[in-house]
A and B are shown apart, each in its own frame.
Chain A
Amino acid sequence: MAEMSDGEKIEALEHGLIELYIRLKKSFILAEETDPKFKHFLQPPSEIAKAYDHLNRTRAVQLRISDLGPDRNPEEYIVDNLGKAKGHLYRAYFDILDWLAMNLRESIAGFFAPYSAESLRTVVPEYFTEIAPVMDEVSVSIAKIRNEKDVANSGTLKLLEEYEEKIEVLRNLLNQARRKSPGLNEHEERLMAEKARLSEERQKKDQEKLIRDILLVFLGVALTGFIAWLAS
């Protein structure tokens, strides 16, 4: 394959940057929407601002706003700055996906927390066989991706795509869980009602036993008194 000209290289880099920015922005909006505390995370916009700074350096050269002087090659300068912009967008993207993964994990765990193991076993048997194991697998994969991340590495985009896939798995698990909400609530209410009924029955039995015991004591005292009277 013929080597790309500087112009083609620049165009390919710019194209890649914009594609990356669109994906990153989509995830950023989702991460902000899903944060359980409705809080904002400032590291990603800080990285995006740095990328924007590098893009302005390139555009200033392309539009002849800035002059690099005779010692620097404009095309090399542009390629270098576009590469740096990409590095900052990668950092922002990793931060955003970390944030999103946290939000989703917390939402999934928080969703199941109020339900008893019995309700989960009855209504969502796949919780034990599928949901929880998949969650664990995803967590391990994410930890692995985080360890391998290196924004200067050519395989970073692939890692980010893998990370996006794991996020999608978490989103599907959360949606799958939420669909079970009516059934879980109904089962949990039934369990509570059954518990209340059993507790009431037990209370009633305890009361009856108490009355029986008191009566027996009275009877015993009366009998003892009667026998004592006969004997006298």
Chain B
Amino acid sequence: MNAREKANVLDERLPLLGKVTLETIAETKRLNSRFRGSVRVSTGRVYTDDEFQARRKRVLNTKLPHMG
């Protein structure tokens, strides 16, 4: 690969994880023996995007105890 071709590859969009769903997590767990890395990720202890948003909403709406 010459230097111009390398520049072209570098300018391509990096394919990354899209929306994290339950399917993404199931697939990650299924393939965990192939990769090393975070134990939380390989065991599926990961927020889906929807779950994270729901948690954000819930936490922001939670009143402190005894504060009405």
Of A32, A43, A50, A113, which one neighbours B49 at CB under 8 angstroms? A43
Across-interface contacts of B47 in A (CB, < 8 A): 39-42
On whether the beta carbons of A46 and B7 are closer than 8 Å, the reply is no
Residues in B whose Cβ lies below 8 Å from that of A135: 64
Cross-chain contact of B10 among A57, A115, A128 (Cβ < 8 A):
A57
Quick check: is A198 within 8 A (CB to CB) of the other chain?
Answer: no
A60 to B11, CA, bound (A): 11
Contact with B along A85-105 (1 / 0, CB 8 A): 000000000000011001001
Q: Determine which residue in A42, A65, A106 has the highest number of CB atoms from chain B within 10 A of its CB, and name it.
A: A42
**Beta-carbon nearest neighbor of B67 in chain A:** A132
Query: Residue-by-residue, is B25-68 near A (CB-CB < 8 Å gives 1, otherwise 0)?
Result: 00000000000001011000111010010011001101011110
A56 at the interface (CB under 8 A from B): yes
B49 touches A49 (CB 8 A): no
Contacts of A61 in B (CB 8 A): 7
A37 close to chain B: CB less than 8 A: yes
How far apart are A6's CB and chain B's nearest CB, in angstroms?
A: 19
A38 contacts the other chain (CB 8 A): yes
* Of A66-74, A149-157, A159-167, the one touching chain B: A66-74
Residues of A within 8 A of B41 (CB): 40, 42
Q: Bound state CA distance, A128 and B38, in angstroms?
A: 41
Give A112 to B55 CA distance when docked, in angstroms: 19
Instruction: Scan B1-14; emit 1 where CB is below 8 A from any A CB, else 0.
Output: 01110110011001
Range of interface residues on A (Cβ < 8 Å): 35 or more
Q: Specify which of B10, B14, B52 is in contact with A66 (CB 8 Å cutoff).
A: B10
Contacts of A38 in B (CB 8 A): 40, 45
Max chain A Cβ within 10 angstroms of own Cβ: one of B6, B16, B64:
B64
Contact B14 A67 (CB under 8 A): no
Given the known A-B contacts A39-B46, A68-B7, are A50 and B14 also in contact in the complex, defined by CB atoms under 8 Å? yes
Residues of B within 8 A of A109 (CB): 62, 64-65
Nearest CB on A from B24, distance (A): 9
> Quick one: given A39-B40, A42-B47, are A60 and B6 in contact (CB under 8 Å)?
yes
Can you list 29 residue pairs at the A/B interface with Cβ under 8 Å? A39-B40, A39-B46, A40-B40, A40-B41, A40-B46, A40-B47, A41-B46, A42-B46, A42-B47, A43-B52, A49-B16, A60-B7, A65-B3, A65-B6, A66-B4, A66-B10, A67-B3, A67-B4, A69-B7, A98-B56, A99-B52, A105-B60, A106-B62, A109-B62, A112-B65, A117-B66, A120-B66, A132-B67, A139-B60
For the complex of A and B, the 4 pairs showing the least CB-CB separation, nearest first, are: A67-B3, A66-B7, A40-B40, A117-B66
